[in-house]
Amino acid sequence: MLLCKLVLTQNYFSFRSSTFVQKTGLAMGAATSHIFSEIFLQYLEDTSIFTILTQHKTVGYFRYVDDILIACDSTNTDSYTVLAQFNNSAPSLTFTMEMQKDDCINFPAVSIIKQHNSLPFKIYRKPTATDSIITADYNHHIDHKYSAIRSFRHRLQSYPLSDTHKHVEHDIISHILRANQYSSSVVQNIRSYLVVAPPIHSTLGLTQHTAPQQAHNQYGTFTYVGKEIRHVTKIFKQTNVKIAFKTKNTIERLLRHRKTSTQDDCFGKSGVYKLTCPDCNMTYVGQTGRSFRTRFREHARDFKYRTGNSKFAQHLIDQGHSFGSIDSIMEILHVVRKGALKDTLERFQIYKATSLGIQINDRSTAGSNSLFNTVLSHVKPGRQP
C-alpha cells in the first residue's frame, strides 16, 4: 500500500523547462495507470453503477476500458438522469453521453446498426482517421509494416460483418494499401478473406485440438537499420531464441526538440571513437565514458611525454610519425552510454579494422567472430553498420 501511495502521489512532469505536479488523477503515460483506472472503475460498478442501472431498468450494460454502452427502453429509462447519477457517483470524473443517431451507435471500433430483428455490425473509423500506415518503401522491418495490415485482415475475418459491409471494408483497406505503395499481391491477399467464413472461437473451455507443449523460449531485440540485420537474425532461426525488432524512427525521437549539433558539440559526448595515423592511415579504436575531447587530450599527453599508456601514441613514437589535430585524426563512430552495447560496438569496430589490416590495437582483442563476419559480409563498402 505504501508503494501504491507513492506511485499515486509523486506525479511530476516537465513542460517548456518548467516542472509541474499533478494534484489529482493518475500519471499520464505511467505503466500502472491503466491498472489503477480499471480497479477504480470496477469499484464504481460494484458500489454505485449497477445500483443505478437496476433502478432505471436498463436492458444491458457493456464496458470496454473506459467506453460504456448501455441498452435501454426510452419509455422506462431517462438517459439524462442516468448520466447525472453517474457523474454524481464520481465527482472527480466527467461522464459524457453519445446517443444513437439514425439507428446506429459506435462502440468503440464498430458501428452497431439497429434493424427490425437483428443488430448488424460495420467497421467504425473516426472522422479524423487518415489512410497513413508505414509505407512499403520505409526502412522498417516487414513485421512492422504488416502489423496494420494484419489488424485490418483480422477485423475483416473475425468481426460479424454482413457481406455488404465486408465488401465496403475491403474496398477501404485496398485503397489504404495502394495509397501506401503496397503491391497488388498484398491487396489480393486481403480479398481472399472475403470468401472465408469467420472462425468460431470458444471463450469457455478448451479448444478442440491441444497444441503440443513447446520449449521455453528466450527473446532478443534488434534495432532494425536495414536489410543487413535480417542476415544476422537468421542465425537464431533454428534456436529457441525469438527475435523482435525495434526502430529508432519513433514519434518520440521525431518530436523531441534538439539543438543544432556542431562537430565541437560531438566531441563533448562519449562513446566509441577511432584515431587515424596521419602518416600511414593505421587506426586505433577505443571507447570512453568521458568526453571524446578529454580522451583525445590523454592520447596527446601520452605522445608528448612518452608514458607508454596509449597504443596509438606508442605507434606514432615507434614509427616517427606526427600527431594531428582532433578534427583531422579523431572520428566519432558511435555516441553511446556505458554498458554492454558500447563494449560490443568497440569490439566490432576493432574486428572490422583487423579484417582490413589497419589495426593498431592488440591482436588478441579481435578473435574469430561468426556474427561479426555475417554483418561485414552484408555491409556495403563505405557504409557504417
pLDDT value of position 251: 67
Asked whether residue 242 falls in the same domain as residue 282, the answer is no
Is the predicted pLDDT of residue 119 greater than 50, yes or no?
Answer: yes
Q: What is the pLDDT of residues 125-158, one digit of tens each?
A: 888 888 889 888 887 888 888 888 888 888 888 8
Is the predicted pLDDT of residue 230 greater than 80, yes or no?
Answer: no
In this structure, is residue 108 part of a structural domain?
yes
pLDDT value of position 69: 93
Q: What is the pLDDT of residues 7-46, one digit of tens each?
A: 777 777 777 778 788 778 888 777 788 888 999 999 999 9
Asked whether residue 234 falls in the same domain as residue 288, the answer is no
In this structure, is residue 107 part of a structural domain?
yes
Domain end: 123, 158, 184, which one? Answer: 123
Q: What is the pLDDT of residues 186-221, one digit of tens each?
A: 877 766 655 444 443 433 333 344 445 555 778 888
Asked whether residue 314 falls in the same domain as residue 226, the answer is no
Average pLDDT, the chain: 82
Asked whether residue 247 falls in the same domain as residue 273, the answer is no
pLDDT value of position 116: 82
Work out the average pLDDT over 282-297: 93
Work out the average pLDDT over 268-278: 93
Work out the average pLDDT over 272-301: 93
pLDDT value of position 198: 44
Q: Give the closest residue to 221 by CA, choosing from 213, 210, 232.
A: 232
In this structure, is residue 150 part of a structural domain?
yes
Phi-psi region of 140 (alpha: psi -120 to 50; beta: other; left: phi over 0): beta
Percentage of residues of the chain with pLDDT beyond 70: 86
Count up the domains in the chain and report the number.
4
In this structure, is residue 272 part of a structural domain?
yes
Supply the pTM of this predicted model: 0.52
Asked whether residue 232 falls in the same domain as residue 284, the answer is no
Asked whether residue 103 falls in the same domain as residue 175, the answer is no
pLDDT value of position 200: 38
Work out the average pLDDT over 279-307: 92
At 329, is the secondary structure helix, strand, or coil?
helix
CA 306/CA 231 separation, integer angstroms: 45
Q: What is the pLDDT of residues 352-377, one digit of tens each?
A: 888 888 988 876 566 677 778 877 77
Asked whether residue 44 falls in the same domain as residue 113, the answer is yes
Work out the average pLDDT over 74-86: 92
Is the predicted pLDDT of residue 62 greater than 90, yes or no?
Answer: yes
pLDDT value of position 6: 75
Work out the average pLDDT over 238-243: 83
Q: Which domain holds residue 246?
A: 221-252
CA 358/CA 355 separation, integer angstroms: 8
In this structure, is residue 66 part of a structural domain?
yes
Asked whether residue 265 falls in the same domain as residue 362, the answer is yes
In this structure, is residue 20 part of a structural domain?
no
Band of pLDDT at residue 79, cut at 50, 70 and 90: very high
Beta strands in 30-177 (DSSP E): 60-64, 67-71, 104-106, 110-113, 121-123
CA 296/CA 330 separation, integer angstroms: 8
276 phi and psi, to 5 degrees?
-115, 130
